[in-house]
Structure 1
Amino acid sequence: MTKAGKTKKIIKILNSKFGKPNCALNYKTDFELLVSVILSAQCTDVRVNMVTEKMFKVVNTPEQIMELPIKDLENLIRSTGFFRNKAKNIKMCSRELLEKYGGEVPSKMEELVALPGVGRKTANVVRGEIWGLSDGVTVDTHVKRLSNLIGLVREDNVEKIERELMKIVPKEMWIDFSHYLILQGRDVCIARRPKCGICEINHLCNHGRKIMRERVKES
């Protein structure tokens, strides 16, 4: 079976399981989503949502961010980790949004990735969630781990992983495919204790098939 063929089967199975996937981050405005994705680096979505629930009651616009002292911003986001760097990026990003885009979040990839704290992954998430646009496949830690375990790629570099996935994932599924692997990673393919025995795609997964064969030998 080709990697493209395997990928289509995986998408079909996970679509049946999860339906139309939604973003796990809670937000009401484009700017809130952008800030949430910046905060999600090296942090769980659950933690980000806990932080932003309180944060957005205090500041939720570029203007308000610029008026808030940096130390107060750091304290609001402290539990997301790397809070000093994130606070600095959010401040700088807010300034550029106000100076260049009238406080609005731009939709073009090249404009987004030029913003402080916004890389290709963040830009892909924002474009896909807000405008349904995608220039590629969002590769977070779940997508990186599962795509390697399944055998779709053999790469550690996220940019190379994205390029490989773009070759085998149908373009119209680039956005949903990332969501599906993220959801499967949280539900079954947990990093420290993957539940290969009950995984719906274990027969299509290189690691899953290996684990199941070992269990058969032991029984």
Structure 2
Amino acid sequence: MDLFKQTDWPKALRPLIEKYRDKQHPLDYKNIYQLMVMVVLSAQDSDAHINKIAPAFFEKYPDMRALAKANTQELTDALSDVRFHGNKIAWLQDIASEVKEDKNIPTTMKELTALKGVGRKSANVIKREAGTEPEGIMVDLHVLRVAPRLGIAKGKNADKVEKELMEALPKDMWGEIGMALSFLGRETCRPTNPKHSECIVSSVCDYCLAQT
């Protein structure tokens, strides 16, 4: 069965967007500078862990200018608990050297992904939280699980799933649907024992229908 033809995905997923519209990303940031730093640090680490260390870090380095002045040892002392902190410190130093001040933080996909440590997922998060026009759809580990379960995508990697979502949905949904699917994955469509009875898109979900 070809669900790309059988299911009206824009209609089916709009209630999900309405449920989670404008809900802030789980990273507890206060401005776009903080968000950029935190998305870099959170790669292969947990949002909860980065939220825990962030206040002390941003007290020392409150903006891009302060970050640019920090040396490697200082940043290592502050971020030693972060997974793969060596690489991430190098990326942050490169970003700070390139951007220099908060006002220069880019908000286009091309400029964001040109920065070290910022891939399409991170760029889509930054663009969504900054309120800029979307150029893609955020695909994190939750979306990578949820989208194929629904049947809207068949890809095995983030780039493929993002492309499939962009093909299936109009651009006016791109900015919110990634985070909506991510929140669905965090709260309802868990890796094991998903809560089908609580899911507002269960009626169009391949995975749910296959189990009933």
TM-score (norm 1): 0.85
**Contact preservation (8 Å) 2:3, 2:151:** no
2:73 to 64, 71, 76: 71
1:155, distance to aligned residue in structure 2 (A): 0.8
1:157, distance to aligned residue in structure 2 (A): 2.1
Q: Who is 1:3 aligned against?
A: 4
Quick one: structure 1 residues 80 and 9, their matched pair in 2 at CA, closer, same or farther if it must change by over 3 Å? farther
Report the aligned-residue RMSD: 2.2
Q: Who is 1:39 aligned against?
A: 41
In structure 2, C-alpha distance between the alignment counterparts of 1:68 and 1:95, rounded to whole Å: 11
Quick one: structure 1 residues 206 and 25, their matched pair in 2 at CA, closer, same or farther if it must change by over 3 Å? same
Structure 1 segment 189-208 matched on structure 2, within 5 A: 189-208=189-208
1:168, distance to aligned residue in structure 2 (A): 1.0
1:185, distance to aligned residue in structure 2 (A): 0.8
1:91, distance to aligned residue in structure 2 (A): 0.9
Q: Who is 2:55 aligned against?
A: 53
Mean Cα displacement is larger for which, 5-14 or 135-144? 5-14
Q: Who is 1:217 aligned against?
A: none
2:84 to 82, 87, 97: 82
Quick one: structure 1 residues 102 and 179, their matched pair in 2 at CA, closer, same or farther if it must change by over 3 Å? closer
2:20 to 18, 21, 46: 18
Unmatched tracts of structure 1, length 5 or more: 214-219
**Contact preservation (8 Å) 2:64, 2:102:** no
Quick one: structure 1 residues 103 and 199, their matched pair in 2 at CA, closer, same or farther if it must change by over 3 Å? closer
**Contact preservation (8 Å) 1:107, 1:131:** no
Q: Which amino acid aligns with 1:3?
A: F
In structure 2, C-alpha distance between the alignment counterparts of 1:162 and 1:108, rounded to whole Å: 17
In structure 2, C-alpha distance between the alignment counterparts of 1:50 and 1:185, rounded to whole Å: 22
In structure 1, C-alpha distance between the alignment counterparts of 2:104 and 2:121, rounded to whole Å: 19
1:175, distance to aligned residue in structure 2 (A): 1.3
Unmatched tracts of structure 2, length 5 or more: none
Quick one: structure 1 residues 73 and 192, their matched pair in 2 at CA, closer, same or farther if it must change by over 3 Å? farther
TM-score (norm 2): 0.88
Quick one: structure 1 residues 119 and 186, their matched pair in 2 at CA, closer, same or farther if it must change by over 3 Å? same
Partner SS for 1:79:
coil
**Contact preservation (8 Å) 2:12, 2:204:** yes
Moved segments of 4+, more than 6 Å: none
Q: Which amino acid aligns with 1:193?
A: N
Structure 1 segment 123-162 matched on structure 2, within 5 A: 123-162=123-162
Greater RCO (Cα-Cα under 8 Å, separation 6 or more): 2
1:89, distance to aligned residue in structure 2 (A): 0.6
